Chain A
Amino acid sequence: MKGKPLQVLLVEDSAGDARLLREMFSKEMPGSFVLTHVERMSDALRHLAKGGLDIVLLDMGLPDGHGLDTVRRAQAAAPGVPLIVLTGLDDEAAADQAMKEGAQDYLIKGQIENRALPRALRHAIERHRMQAETDLLRKQQLQLKDEFLSHVSHELRSPLTAIYQFVTILLDGLEGELNPTQREYLQISLKNIRQLKSMIDDLLEVTRLQAGKARIELQLTSIPDLVVDTVTSLQATAAAKGITLSSDITPLVTSAYADPTRVRQILIILLDNALKFTPANGVVKVRARVFDADPRFFLVEISDSGCGIQPEMIEQIFERLYQAPDTGQAGRKGLGLGLHICKELVTRQGGHIWARSEPGKGAILSFTLPIFSVAGLITPAFRIERSAENSIALVVTELGSESGWLSRGAAVESSHQVRDALRRCMHSELDVLLPKMGPAAGTEFFFIVAVTDTIGGEAITKPVGEKLAGCDQIQQTALTYSVSYRLLRSANRSANESMEDYVGRMAMKIQETVDEVISPRMVKNEQ
């Protein structure tokens, strides 16, 4: 091998095996390598972190390593360095697994043929380099595509704006009275403008979802309110087509844990579709109830009496750019992104979406969303065994604005920044940031459920206060905040209490404490 000497890290605890390998290196690759030998995983990780290595030979049976875990940790410490695992005679299965985890190759100790070592090293390095290149290319392509789509969507907005402006100027009679035909034609134009805007928005939305830039903020969401809202907003459209649009909501006592903006978006897309594919005198209905098959979820169903979906298409409709083949009365197809966006949004909120249909008789689009439960949220944190001294603190941050929020946008942005800041103060496994609870007129409350092993509330509230002080939005918009905490007593599981009962009891305590904090504010607001 020509060129610079290879920097090789050998991680092998058996002195005998290590010596054999060293001899092999000296014999087959004289002068073209620099071998560093360590015997423990901890030392290996140090060297990997330092950098400068070209390849690692890793024994899977280290005293402080653990088979596959060894491989994972090595990869994590230095993802840019190719890895060859060293394994014993009867351990090929493990070696195979290691390759699935990302090792480039494996060598069976005691069975390394002549000249096999330099070849194995060469190939491992080359393969790793090619993989890295392909990954990089793919990432770049995706980014280029996203930037292009984003750029195009933005550019389309300016001419669209001008068209919208002048059509509405005429429709609003700012340049004189219109005769009925003129009005009609202009309204057709306006309808198409809205459609165009919607297509551009969809395009951007899909791009953002792909790039992981879409924001989804889970919180207590009232499904009935959203259904009523969207159905009301589409009544006029339905009436214009002679379609009966109604909703049937089984009283839902609890909230969903979802993003209301996104749920509204999903409902509008699905209702728009239903209305589009249903002929005059048809029926579109929205149903909402607890999901029979899994009572931890709500089920929302939108049924229509339209043309239905072909059985072979029933799963494909959620793919990007799928467009219904028979447009007939449906008119323009749109970009075909709506259902794909719905699927992304439903999935990201923890639900599922599917369709059922009898061609010619209509279709039912169903989706589920998780029901909010404090117990569900805190369960992962509580599963971890803790000592008897632990208590649970509820850290309360109150965010207020003396002059009132200027705009909804500013309020949402402040809320988001504060949540980000709070997250950075938490132990992600032990603490839980509850979703927004209670109304937000002038103040907003944020609650962290923290497992502490000292009674020092200061230990929690101080870093939170400091992080908030450093928050741009708070500095810029003169928001006020205060951080306090409340301790929950008897926070340990009693001997004969099941985990489920314990979590349930804690959840109730937490909810009670939250209500105690919020209710004085609510009374004030109602005055």
Chain B
Amino acid sequence: MSNKKILIVEDDPDVRKGMHVRLQASSYDTFFATDAISGMAEARKHQPDLILLDLGLPGGDGFTVMERFKTNPHLAVIPIIIVSARTGHDNRVRAMKAGAKAFLEKPVDNAELLAVIRQALGQSTQTSDLSRE
């Protein structure tokens, strides 16, 4: 079984590289885009299994990307996880409404990032346990 492909849309080169090294170590294949427009182009070209999307992108923010994706049936099915420095309740709500599977705040804890990715890819063996506060 080949590795899952993750598209990372992030304009900060260091953060991008950090994510790449971490994800590669967990056997994910990664490829990149540095802005909203190329992000959409890459997604169309490579059909990733999951997208890690920053919100504060040049050329249109992450929300724009999500809206556009929804209109394309091939892309609308790809799970999107927001990884953003723009924290705050309003952004979180907006992201969830736009269909994001999760909203993570930078800096993201490594374990949390990997767990959320696994879950969004349907690979998680544990169900969401909500009976614990």
Contacts and interface: CB of A to CB of B under 8 A. Distances in A.
Given A157-B106, A169-B21, A406 B85 contact: no
13 contacts: A150-B88, A159-B14, A162-B12, A162-B14, A165-B107, A166-B14, A169-B25, A172-B25, A172-B110, A193-B107, A215-B89, A404-B128, A439-B131
Interface string B81-99: 0000111110011001101
A158 B85 contact: yes
B89 A161 contact: no
A164 B107 contact: yes
A335 B109 CA distance: 22
Interface of A: 150, 153-155, 157-162, 164-166, 168-169, 172, 174, 193, 197, 204, 208, 213, 215, 222, 225, 260, 404-411, 413, 439-442, 472-473, 476, 525
B89 A213 contact: yes
A410 B96 contact: yes
Nearest to B24: A174
Contacts of A413: 92-93, 96
A155 B107 CA distance: 12
Contacts of A161: 12, 15, 18, 85, 106-108
A162 B93 CA distance: 26
Contacts of B106: 157-158, 160-161
B14 A154 contact: no
Contacts of A197: 107
B130 A440 contact: yes
Contact of A407 (B12, B18, B110, B128): B128
Contacts of A407: 101-102, 116, 119, 128
A409 B99 CA distance: 13
Contacts of A406: 101-102, 119, 128
B118 interface: no
- Across chains A and B, which 9 residue pairs bring their CB atoms closest together, nearest first? A165-B18, A162-B14, A157-B85, A161-B107, A441-B131, A161-B106, A164-B107, A157-B106, A154-B85
A442 B128 CA distance: 10
Interface string B104-133: 011110100000100100000001111101
Contact of A162 (B18, B87, B97, B105): B18
B97 A476 contact: yes
A162 B15 contact: yes
A169 B18 contact: yes
Contacts of B131: 439-441, 525
Contacts of B133: 222, 225, 260
B22 interface: yes
B103 interface: yes
Contacts of A439: 131
Contacts of B14: 159, 162, 165-166
Contact of B18 (A154, A166, A225, A408): A166
A150 B90 CA distance: 13
A168 B133 CA distance: 28
A230 to B, nearest CB: 13
Contacts of B22: 165, 168-169, 174
B3 to A, nearest CB: 17
B75 interface: no
A475 to B, nearest CB: 10
Given A158-B85, A215-B89, A406-B119, 6 more contacts: A161-B12, A165-B107, A169-B25, A404-B128, A413-B92, A439-B131
